Amino acid sequence: MAKVRSDLLQGTLDMIVLKTLELEPQHGWAISQRIRHISQGVFDLNDGSLYPALQRLERKGWITSSWQVTENNRRARYYRLTGAGRKRLAVEERKWVRASTAVNRILGIAYAGG
Amino acid sequence: MGWLHGIRSRLRPLLFRATVEAELDEEIAFHVERQAEEYVRAGMPAGEAREAALRAFGRVDAVKEGVRIERGTRLLEDTGRDFRYALRKLRRNPGFTVAAVLTLALGIGANTAVFSVVNAVLLQPLPYAEPDRLVLLWNRSSSAGAQRMPVAAPDVAVYRERAKGFERFGFTEGTLDLSLSGREGPLHVRAGRVDPTFFHLLGVRPALGRGFSGREDVLPPEILDDSSATIPPAPVMLSHGMWKARFGGTVDVLGRDIRLNGQPAVVVGVLPADFELLLPPDVGVGRRADLWLPIRVDLSRLQRVDRLTDQDSDNTGAVIGRLRPGVTLEQAQAEMDGIAARLREEVPEYRHAGLRIDVVPMKASAVEHTRRILLALWAAVGAVLVIACLNVGNLSLARMLGRSGEIALRSALGANRWRLARQMLTESVLLAALGAGLGLLVAGGALPLIRKAGPADLPRLADAGIDGAALAFTLGCLLLATLFFGLAPALSFSRDGAGGHLVRRRGVRAADRHGRGIRNTLVVCQVGLSLTLLITAGLLLRSLLSLGEVSPGFEPRRVLTFELSLRYPDRYLGPADRAAFVHQLEGRLASLPGVEAVGLVGRLPLAGDLWTQPYGLDGASVEEWSANEADFRMVTSGYFRAMGIRLLAGRHFTEAEDLYERERVAIIDERMATRLGGTDGNALGKRLGFPLDGAPVWARVVGIVEHVRHESLTGNGRETIYVPYRQEASREFAVVMRTSGDPSRLVGPARDELRAFAAHLPMYDVRTMTDYIAAATSPTRFALGLIGLFALLALFLATLGLYGVMSYAVRQRRREFGIRMALGAPGKTLIRTVVASGLTLTGIGIGLGLAMSFVGSRFINSMLYNVGKVDPLTYSAVTSLMVLVAALACYVPARRATRVDPAETLRHEI
């Protein structure tokens, strides 16, 4: 599978981050790990580029952060999805599904024709 | 909630910047460590793992910057930094800062003070319920000119019945002067008289007790029609001031029995402290009455007074109407036009007079006499602020040019132009804010002085204060000022290419040329504006001087006056009784040491009380009289001597005419004499018809006196008829005493004499005639005082501005001057060059100022007296003053430049 370059659309990155936080609060490193694992390394972005995105989501009120102690007894900043973030995620997901379905259909037709 | 969150999330990085940054570092460190552990667990050596983790993270600086941008606090942080920087700059330059802040403080402070006055007097709605729906109704006679006349009480009943566009009407008569009995002797009080629904119409609720009511306070017909019935005591509402001063401000005042002119009355209520009846000054209804009495008769039962035959009736007054919601002024006027037309058909006198009814908004008419003077003041003080801003703009511009090196360096290091311009603006805002803060103090200090100096007919002046509106206005001034003086340097800077400044000589020259253009324009504007103010002040000064030279028609010095009221139900009933009383009183007062002459007059000149009557010349029918209107005065024989009115022909009234009814005689003034055939005595013996004591009479002219300005010093006034007091002895009158020394020293003796003679009569309005003259000129003096002050301030600031510009120009040309002096040019020539260039600017400014004065003088036209709008003397004097001051402002820096050793200058090249 070809690797997707890191210049992902900003909105897409936001959506992915929100999605990784859907189940439980996470710290930054765990989020980046999760994205890498689940996408099986497709999204090859610098770990660092996650942090401006987190800051942006926090400013918009979709996630909040607090300092907590990890299972290894270390201090880390955990991010948690807010109610507004949950709603936002749902909206983004619906939009994505609709758009990707449409794109798939267009591409499917193109393949069939070609 | 969203925005609240936005503010909170932005506030934290602003307030706890260090903590937030530390947390970011910690977060990143944690990430990298955790990643390195992950690599180690996968088998990488510990040393390499950290490297790899860092690599995977990407550029830490870039990430941190990205996070900072996403915090959304960049603009605020920059601004904060700009402010700190600006503060540092200003502190380092105390001379400039102090000059600029003081200049702005004076400009903004004066503006805030004047605004508070304008706001309180002109802009604030009247302190009544829904004041926009309140209108005043006036009578006007189309045959007797545009004079407003009070409305007859029964007409109000007609309005109530017929006018559908009005919710209700209220009626108030002129105030009565009464004597309130008390333990410390009788106290003079002014009683306003209103129909019982009046306060309800205004929406004024009593602070205590009840208001008047149409049900309780109008006497039933059986009492009115039965002359033997006892009339219940009059209900009284006290003004708040009266309640506090005379009744101790206690609640138990309600129901208290008092005596007014010996008649029983009972206190039923107290009006709120801020209540003031705001009517135009010419209504004759006192703004502040001490107490209020209801008119206890249904208005329709009051007789419609025939102005031709009865003047001394109280059945006329001011009418206030409340429009129904949605009814426009035009609709109301149209309706009243119809009612006036019907009244003209029904009432013969109205037909003769050509009755018109005018409907005017209450607010406009209550303050219209102050509008022009206040707007003129506002314009003047606005001009001062503009000059102040121009000055500070000039100063900042010079300073900015001095900093061109620093700015060039910063822009070369990558600061963008907008960012630098923003920083300049920040400095301006800071200056303006400091100026505005100090300006508020200036305004706070100036307002009590203005309140004290304000003319008496400026209503609601006492309300002027630093309130929310004034603060908002100051803030507006601040922003405007910032734009005004801050934009020039910011713009001039951003227009100059940045890099040029680093190439030092050329850059400075280019910037200088550009800056000089702006600075010269600013100076021209300053000169123009201050010239306008100076000319305005000059015109007012000339008016005041002319007013001082106006002969009022009497000799005001050393004259003491006081008023008395003989309104008692059981005394002084007929004219003969009153005349006898007055004659005795005059005799006792005349015997006081230091008294030269004593007389009596119905109404004093310049005291604001008018008394006019229709009249006819020999042969005219009574119906034709209403085409003429003359001032009418009843006087005793001593009046003309006591007041110092010269007799031009004929004789004075005699003592016999003071006491006994004889042939009807009149003395006329020179103006009336002209109408009757000339002042040289031809008018003597002619007959003059006028209403007297309820009937038309004809009187023989026995004397001609000087014309007296009864109404105002500036107006020409009407012709005047004097009749002996005995013939229609008014209940209120003024006693006039000419003294040999200081008139105020006779107040005590006169009061004692009155107390010994008639202890129940309080004397009131004890004043000298010079007091009345001073009051008549007080609006002009008020305007002159303030505008003069503003003009001097403007001149000072403009001079400062010119001086600054010339000093700067001379400093720039020091090298050139050095060379020229080294080559043998005499210092005088150089000085002349500098002064000439400065005077060129002044000349352009003067041209501008003259044009503005020409337009602006229209504002103060109503205050000008005996001086043309384009008064050559004022214009030339002010222009010369301006040139002189400007020349001095140029000469001083020029001379300083030539004093410097040429060799020194050459070596010291900038």
The string of pLDDT tens digits covering residues B839-864 is: 998 999 999 999 988 887 777 777 77
Q: Which chain A residues are within 8 Å of B60, Cβ to Cβ?
A: 48
- A51:B66 CB<8 A: yes
| Banded pLDDT at B503 (limits 50, 70, 90) | very low
Cα B484 from Cα A41, distance rounded (Å): 60
Q: Which chain A residues are within 8 Å of B7, Cβ to Cβ?
A: none
pLDDT higher than threshold 90 for residue B588: yes
DSSP result, B567-614: --SSSS-SHHHHHHHHHHHHHHHHTSTTEEEEEEESS-TTSS---EE-
Q: Please return the burial class of B718, using the count of CB atoms within 10 Å of its CB with bins 0-12, 13-18 and 19+.
A: buried
pLDDT on residue A111:
54
pLDDT on residue B722:
96
Q: Which chain B residues are within 8 Å of A67, Cβ to Cβ?
A: 23
Contact residues for B503 (Cβ-Cβ < 8 A; gap 6+): none
Candidates B300, B332, B315, B325; CA nearest to B214 is B300
Q: What letter would DSSP give residue A4?
A: B
pLDDT higher than threshold 80 for residue B492: no
Q: What are the helix (H) ranges across chain A?
A: 10-20, 28-38, 50-59, 83-113
Tell how strand B732-739 and strand B595-601 pair up: antiparallel
Choose the closest CB to B71 out of A29, A59, A61: A59
Cα B540 from Cα B866, distance rounded (Å): 10
Most A-contacting residue of B11, B26, B57, B75 (CB-CB within 10 A), to test interface: B57
Choose the closest CB to A51 out of B9, B10, B63: B63
Q: What ipTM describes this predicted complex?
A: 0.86
Most B-contacting residue of A59, A62, A68, A82 (CB-CB within 10 A), to test interface: A59
For residue B328 the two structure tokens come to: 């426009």
Q: Tell me whether A6 touches chain B (CB under 8 Å).
A: no
pLDDT higher than threshold 50 for residue B312: no
Q: Which H or E run includes A65?
A: strand A63-69
Over the stretch B5-42, which tens digit does the pLDDT of each residue have? 666 667 777 778 888 888 899 999 999 998 898 899 98
Over the stretch B173-189, which tens digit does the pLDDT of each residue have? 878 888 898 777 788 99
Q: What percent of chain B has pLDDT over 70?
A: 91
CA distance A11 to chain B (A): 14
pLDDT higher than threshold 90 for residue B736: yes
Domain edges within chain B:
2-72, 143-353, 370-549+776-907, 569-759
The predicted model scores a pTM of 0.73
Q: Tell me whether A85 touches chain B (CB under 8 Å).
A: no
pLDDT higher than threshold 80 for residue A66: yes
- B63:A74 CB<8 A: no
From the CB of residue A109, how many other CB atoms can be counted at a distance below 10 Å?
Answer: 10
- A59:B2 CB<8 A: no
Over the stretch B626-644, which tens digit does the pLDDT of each residue have? 778 889 999 999 999 999 9
Cα B57 from Cα B28, distance rounded (Å): 9
- Side-chain half-sphere CA neighbours of B16 within 13 A: 8
Average pLDDT, chain B: 84
Q: Tell me whether A41 touches chain B (CB under 8 Å).
A: no
- A27:B60 CB<8 A: no
| Banded pLDDT at B720 (limits 50, 70, 90) | very high
Residue type, B17: R
Crossing angle between the packed helical segments B504-549 and B487-495, to the nearest 10 degrees: 150
Burial letters B719-746, b for 16+ CB under 10 A, else e = bbbbbbbbbbbbebbbbbbbbeeebeeb
pLDDT higher than threshold 60 for residue B717: yes
Most A-contacting residue of B25, B30, B50 (CB-CB within 10 A), to test interface: B30
pLDDT higher than threshold 70 for residue B144: no
- A58:B60 CB<8 A: no
pLDDT on residue B153:
87
CB of B168 within 8 A of CB of B197?
A: yes
Cα A61 from Cα B408, distance rounded (Å): 42
Candidates B543, B648, B640, B654; CA nearest to B601 is B640
| Banded pLDDT at B213 (limits 50, 70, 90) | confident
Candidates B746, B796, B797; CA nearest to B768 is B746
Cα A46 from Cα B59, distance rounded (Å): 9
pLDDT higher than threshold 70 for residue B489: no
Q: What is the mean pLDDT of residues B202-217?
A: 88
pLDDT on residue B465:
84
CATH number at residue A52: 1.10.10.10
The answer to the question of residue A1 being in a domain is no
- Side-chain half-sphere CA neighbours of A56 within 13 A: 17
Q: What is the mean pLDDT of residues B873-879?
A: 90
Q: What is the mean pLDDT of residues B414-425?
A: 75
CB of B615 within 8 A of CB of B630?
A: yes
Q: Which chain A residues are within 8 Å of B27, Cβ to Cβ?
A: 28, 51, 76-77
Q: What is the 3-state secondary structure (H, E, C) of B794-817?
A: HHHHHHHHHHHHHHHHHHHCHHHH
Q: Which chain B residues are within 8 Å of A74, Cβ to Cβ?
A: 30
In angstroms, the Cα distances linking B367 to B126, B138, B420, B439, B618 are: 10, 16, 49, 28, 42
Q: Which chain B residues are within 8 Å of A53, Cβ to Cβ?
A: 70
pLDDT on residue B369:
76
CA distance A37 to chain B (A): 13
How many beta-carbon pairs below 8 A join chains A and B? Answer: 69
Cα B93 from Cα B423, distance rounded (Å): 17
Cα B197 from Cα B314, distance rounded (Å): 18
pLDDT higher than threshold 60 for residue B313: no
B233 φ/ψ angles, rounded to the nearest 5 degrees: -55, 145
Q: Domain limits at A42?
A: 10-113
CA distance B32 to chain A (A): 8
Choose the closest CB to B9 out of A51, A58, A67: A58
Over the stretch B110-131, which tens digit does the pLDDT of each residue have? 999 999 999 988 888 888 999 9
pLDDT on residue B590:
95
- Side-chain half-sphere CA neighbours of B184 within 13 A: 4
- Placement of tokens 């340097």 in the chain: B489
The answer to the question of residue A3 being in a domain is no
Residue type, B65: E
For residue B720 the two structure tokens come to: 């005047």
Query: Which of the residue ranges B294-308, B398-412, B854-868 has the most confident prediction, judged by mean pLDDT?
Result: B854-868
Over the stretch B828-842, which tens digit does the pLDDT of each residue have? 888 888 888 889 989
CB of B542 within 8 A of CB of B873?
A: yes
Q: What is the mean pLDDT of residues B676-685?
A: 80
**Residue B531 CA to its chain's centroid (Å):** 23
- B5:A56 CB<8 A: no
Q: What is the number of domains present in chain A?
A: 1
